[in-house]
Homo-oligomer: A and B are copies of this chain.
């Protein structure tokens, strides 16, 4: 049953508990193993990868099947329904259009004072995408990583994903990857896959940025290789917050909460509303809709542990709680969502209005499904084109422009105790002879 609570204080306490649920001491106990995997793969390359697959996953890998061949990739298209292929194609088209909007562009400004300055934006050359395994294929995870990388022309888009017991990857994943622009696919998962992407092996190329969610081993490995490569952000456990007023449809709100809870027993599904009647109907609806859910016990667990409805005094209070929590997904199912959205300071993605459930964003909407969790929306951004770009500043000073600031530069350099720095200015001014 989805609890109903009232009062800001209790809501804040609950939100803090949910925010902190990922801070697990169990994590630390896995660090030594992950570190060992990283080091071994760095030193031994492919051999270490095969060893770990054997030892840790009990899934012997064959080196020659590590990279998926063109014929396996082609065959995947024969193994999926036509309507799924169409849905994937639609998603790719729509997402690519979204990601191509306002891509940061290089610029240079030639100023009147004889100074030119600007910024150079460039894509990385190689991106490494992690796609978790599981009983069902995580198509959105493929699309939301590959399409932004493709939209800015990353040359090599390398995907790694763990195979099943027969060393196979779900054909639906393979089709989604190809449609989304992945250039090569390796069947390999876990910390060893992250190590391979970070350091490179004989078979797997070293990349510059690694993105994507994964289990605790993958997350730890990504954090540890950060610095050797860039990463999107340390993945956490998913959370959805809905702010709803009396305009919202409680049946739909309940479905949205369940769509969140069914993903993971640790997923958080939270509703804030000033409407006590809505709260009660949503509570009832959640129980009712749960009855027919194929993974009922699973979803109930998330609802019981990390779900609640808080009755707030007004929408301002709801916004305050949202900014305090910094949700991954924030849905504003209120009469004027754009107005309310102006007050939001921290959220991974914002879904406006009653006909924009978060599921839209997970597949087609362009809001991305790979979003900062556990309050990290305070500083982190969703995976997008910027994840795969870097920038360099450029400056040019004419002799006259350098002359104008030369005294200030020399004073600053001398203050920092850097005589050669001061000399590098002084010698030029001497040379200019003006």
Interface residues of A (CB under 8 A from B): 83-84, 86-88, 90-91, 94, 98, 101-102, 104, 107, 109, 115-117, 119-120, 122, 124-125, 135-140, 172, 208-209, 223, 226-227, 229-230, 233-234, 249, 251-252, 255-256, 258-259, 261-263, 289, 293-294, 299, 337-338, 341, 344-368, 372, 376-382, 384, 386, 390-399, 401-402, 405, 407-409, 411-413, 415-425, 427-428, 431-432
Contacts and interface: CB of A to CB of B under 8 A. Distances in A.
A42 to B, nearest CB: 10
A372 B228 CA distance: 12
Contact of A363 (B208, B359, B412): B412
B227 A233 contact: yes
A97 to B, nearest CB: 9
Given A363-B408, A416-B136, A424 B392 contact: no
Given A409-B363, A423-B258, A352 B396 contact: yes
Contacts of A262: 418-421
B83 A395 contact: no
Contacts of A94: 405
A424 B256 contact: yes
Nearest to A94: B405
8 contacts: A116-B352, A172-B415, A227-B376, A249-B428, A289-B420, A293-B420, A355-B399, A364-B412
Contacts of A338: 396
Given A252-B424, A299-B420, A395 B227 contact: no
A117 B139 contact: no
Contacts of A349: 392-395
Nearest to A251: B427
A127 to B, nearest CB: 9
Contact of A427 (B230, B252, B372, B377): B252
Given A252-B431, A379-B230, A362 B421 contact: yes
Contacts of A98: 117
Nearest to A105: B102
Given A262-B420, A344-B392, 13 more contacts: A87-B408, A87-B409, A116-B352, A124-B378, A138-B416, A139-B412, A249-B431, A251-B427, A252-B427, A255-B420, A351-B394, A355-B432, A357-B428
A148 to B, nearest CB: 11
A392 B405 contact: no
Contacts of A293: 419-420
A124 B379 CA distance: 6
A337 B116 CA distance: 12
